[in-house]
Amino acid sequence: MTGKTSDTIFDLFVIGGGINGAAIACDAAGRGLAVGLAEMQDFAEGTSSRSSKLIHGGLRYLETYDFKLVRDALIEREILMRKAPHLVWPLRLILPYVATQRPRWMIRLGLLFYDHLARRRMLQASQAIDLHRHPAGDALKPDYRHAFAYSDCRADDARLVIANLLGAERHGAKIFARHKLLSAHRVDGHWRLNLESMKTGESVELFAKALVNAAGPWVVDVAGRIVGTTISRKLRMVRGSHLVVPRQWAGEHGYFLQTRDGRLMEAFPYEGDFTSIGTTDEPWDDAPEKVNISDKEIDYMLSEVNAFLKKPVTRDGIVWSYSGVRPLFEVGGGRDGDLSTLTRDYSFEIDGRDGVAPLLTVFGGKLTTHRRLGEHAMRELCRVMPWPKQGLTRSEILPGGDFGSDGIEAYRRDLAARFPFLPQAQLARYVKLYGTRSDILLQDVRRLADLGVCFGADLHEREVEFLRDTEWAETAEDMVWRRSKLGLRMTPGEIARLDSYLTGSPSSGRADRN
């Protein structure tokens, strides 16, 4: 095995390329620091591509009196919609009233809090609706008459990770894709880190003034086995799974459903032609990378959603499913062994004793609060490091999100006028995924044939190379399940052909840079 040493002494090095690591790197790089980040798998392959994809205050957390979490999260919704309008967009949710469940006054009060806990400029307030008159009632059994409509946001979780990494890179961060941290030691006031390339086996030695452990469900393992710190709190891993089925109703609204065991589950339109149903809360004791859906979870979700839908969803109708583990910590949450009531808020431990190179460890955290978590982590580090106190992430638009005052629709129309030979749906898909970076993807394209070979659905060689060159994607799985969800529209044969293409032709771009 060969090895190399990086010449740069990083101000800050981040372990973990999920949403939280990416957000910290983005904030730190924006402050002008020399930042590095390593991810052992594909970016977002851990928890951050396996979420329910909601940017939400978390109505359910009001029941556990997590007012601070809800308020912080509500504020983030509108900040994120401004920073990345193509990746975070409004979702109207319908919460049917069920006579045997939460009383109507309680839901009304919860929604009143939800509407007013934080200032709301872009999202509609909640309202009571009559399902027998409102179009949202069409898909539901007639037993449900009353409901409440309220607003949250949908997001593309895996692409938010990429947008944050691109944001970090724009400010000079060095991103080590598919590099695993093997060891970390404090030496002469610095961290000496050893990474291993998961692709070539090559080892890389580098130095950093401060270290962040943002390894999500692996955080305790990285802390103990690799970094050599002791973590006193107990990690509880909680599995959550989702089903994807063909589209079940025409409207763009989703449903927030009260389950018979007192939980809440969502169902909403997904990737145009599909419906997403989820999620579950099950203890998970095995390695995080082994997580998968159980038959029990499938039965549970089908039976709960079918308690509401007029036209039942069947097992045969399941097109795709995915599972992830929430790394939750017992810090005052978790009543009566109920996993859904463990706190979803994040916390940090910082080891920055006099003169030693600091280490910040991240526990928990939600997709919704990633930007805030990044800013907060930097604030903590700035207490012990002489770094700029102000970050940019509250206002700085993420790469691809700069649609200007005319907005995303005007950009899509402009693209359609400039590329009239490309199908509208394909252009709309580019705008949703890449935002204004679609212009880079389509540079010098004058006719459909310039996009090159089509691998299936509307994935052409040009996009594949764009993903390799600018977004660290290397495998077919990276491309069709994380950078996009084209896996829902491609056959296994088409995906295998894409894989052979990728293994057969070396990348010209950044995938080989590190």
Ligand X SMILES: Cc1cc2nc3c(=O)[nH]c(=O)nc-3n(C[C@H](O)[C@H](O)[C@H](O)COP(=O)(O)OP(=O)(O)OC[C@H]3O[C@@H](n4cnc5c(N)ncnc54)[C@H](O)[C@@H]3O)c2cc1C
Report the distance separating Cα 351 and Cα 355, nearest Å: 11
Phi and psi at residue 279, to the nearest 5°: -135, -175
**Residue 261 neighbours by CB distance under 10 Å:** 9
Residue 391 engages ligand X in binding (rule: CB under 6 A): no
Asked if residue 133 lies in contact with residue 72, where contact means CB atoms within 8 angstroms, the answer is: no
Report the distance separating Cα 77 and Cα 58, nearest Å: 11
Residue 46 engages ligand X in binding (rule: CB under 6 A): yes
Report the distance separating Cα 309 and Cα 126, nearest Å: 22
334 dihedral zone (left: phi>0; alpha: psi -120 to 50; beta)? left
CA distances to 240, 277, 300, 318 from 322, rounded to whole Å, are: 9, 11, 15, 11
CB of 246 to ligand X, least distance (A): 22
CB of 115 to ligand X, least distance (A): 19
Q: CB under 6 A: which stretch of 9-17, 90-98, 302-310, 473-481 binds ligand X?
A: 9-17
CB of 79 to ligand X, least distance (A): 13
CB of 321 to ligand X, least distance (A): 11
- Shortest-Cβ-distance residue relative to ligand X: 18
For residue 433, which of 386, 385, 480 has the smallest C-alpha distance? Answer: 480
**Residue 187 neighbours by CB distance under 10 Å:** 9
Asked if residue 29 lies in contact with residue 6, where contact means CB atoms within 8 angstroms, the answer is: no
CB of 155 to ligand X, least distance (A): 8
CB of 377 to ligand X, least distance (A): 11
Beta partners for residue 187, in sequence order: 190
Determine which residue in the list 6, 11, 12, 16 makes contact with ligand X, applying CB under 6 A.
16
Encoded tokens for 138:
């069409």
Residue 19 engages ligand X in binding (rule: CB under 6 A): yes
Determine which residue in the list 60, 134, 170, 180 makes contact with ligand X, applying CB under 6 A.
180
Determine which residue in the list 117, 193, 222, 267 makes contact with ligand X, applying CB under 6 A.
222
Determine which residue in the list 75, 94, 139, 214 makes contact with ligand X, applying CB under 6 A.
214
Name which of 39 and 474 has its Cβ closer to ligand X: 39
Residue 51 engages ligand X in binding (rule: CB under 6 A): yes
Determine which residue in the list 96, 217, 269, 374 makes contact with ligand X, applying CB under 6 A.
217
Name which of 53 and 412 has its Cβ closer to ligand X: 53
Amino acid present at 458: D
289-348 residues in contact with ligand X (CB under 6 A) are 324-326
Residue 367 engages ligand X in binding (rule: CB under 6 A): yes
CB of 134 to ligand X, least distance (A): 25
Determine which residue in the list 365, 399, 401, 435 makes contact with ligand X, applying CB under 6 A.
365
Asked if residue 313 lies in contact with residue 306, where contact means CB atoms within 8 angstroms, the answer is: yes
Residue 164 engages ligand X in binding (rule: CB under 6 A): no
CB of 301 to ligand X, least distance (A): 12
Name which of 145 and 233 has its Cβ closer to ligand X: 233
E strand spans, 358-485: 359-363, 454-456, 459-460
Report the distance separating Cα 69 and Cα 54, nearest Å: 15
Residue 483 engages ligand X in binding (rule: CB under 6 A): no
Q: Which helix (H) or strand (E) holds 511?
A: none
Asked if residue 365 lies in contact with residue 20, where contact means CB atoms within 8 angstroms, the answer is: yes
Residue 484 engages ligand X in binding (rule: CB under 6 A): no
b/e map 111-137, b = 16+ CB within 10 Å? beebbebbebeebeebeebebeeeebb
CB of 215 to ligand X, least distance (A): 4
How many residues bind to ligand X according to rule CB under 6 A? 39
E strand spans, 222-273: 235-246, 254-258, 264-270
CB of 453 to ligand X, least distance (A): 31
Residue 131 engages ligand X in binding (rule: CB under 6 A): no
Name which of 15 and 476 has its Cβ closer to ligand X: 15
Residues of the shown chain interacting with ligand X in the complex, contacts defined by CB under 6 A: 15-21, 38-41, 45-48, 50-54, 56, 180-181, 214-218, 222, 226, 240, 279, 324-326, 365-368
